[in-house]
Structure 1
């Protein structure tokens, strides 16, 4: 199973982070399956790639450490594909979403840590 994680601290009011992340995921061709005030789960839409390569994205917004202007988000991107190649499909989606979050015009990136 391929699995990539990253953590971001962004400067945005806490009440705006969830709708902005949902919008970003949808604009990235991901279908938001489930969300709460602190969690979002989205999946790739079937049809263009094999089922085992379909990526799931989980976003956890840490409201316990959030301030009025800063929010920490932890992102997990995974699929059932064995990561036998460095540049596998899951890694490509991870790199794309990481870039989208880092360059998003709706907030200012303060910190980005990949794991």
Structure 2
């Protein structure tokens, strides 16, 4: 199973973050399949790659206790594909989502794995 993560620190309200995440999903052509106050999940649309390569993107928003308008955003991109190559489909989706965030949002990356 391929899995790539990134942790961002963001200066924005939870509501604004959720809207930003949805816009990122739309820009990356991902379908929003689950949405809660602090957790969003999107999946790739089937038809372009095999089932095991379809990526799932999870975003967890953790508000910082002492700062009302700041949060940590944990991004996870995963699929069932074995990551036998460095440049696999899951990694390409991860790169696309991260590049879209960099291009459209003002988020600071804290940890990239």
TM over 0.5: yes
- Residue 96 of structure 1 is matched in structure 2 by 96
- Residue 59 of structure 1 is matched in structure 2 by 59
- Residue 112 of structure 1 is matched in structure 2 by 110
Q: Which runs of 5 or more residues in structure 2 are unaligned?
A: none
Task: Output aligned runs, 1:1-115, within 5 Å.
Answer: 1-65=1-65, 67-105=67-105, 108-115=106-113
Cα displacement (A) at 1:112: 3.2
Q: Which SS does the other structure have where 1:82 is aligned?
A: coil
- Of residues 38-47 and 17-26 in structure 1, the stretch that sits farther from structure 2 once superposed is 17-26
Over aligned residues, Cα RMSD in angstroms? 1.5
Cα displacement (A) at 1:64: 4.8
Tell me if structure 2 keeps the 8 A contact 1:65–1:72.
no
CA–CA separation in structure 2 for the residues paired with 1:19 and 1:97 = 15
Distance 1:13 1:29, change over 3 A: same
Cα displacement (A) at 1:26: 1.7
CA–CA separation in structure 2 for the residues paired with 1:67 and 1:11 = 9
CA–CA separation in structure 2 for the residues paired with 1:102 and 1:11 = 14
Cα displacement (A) at 1:24: 1.1
Cα displacement (A) at 1:55: 0.1
Q: Which runs of 5 or more residues in structure 1 are unaligned?
A: none
TM value normalised by structure 2: 0.91
Cα displacement (A) at 1:54: 0.2
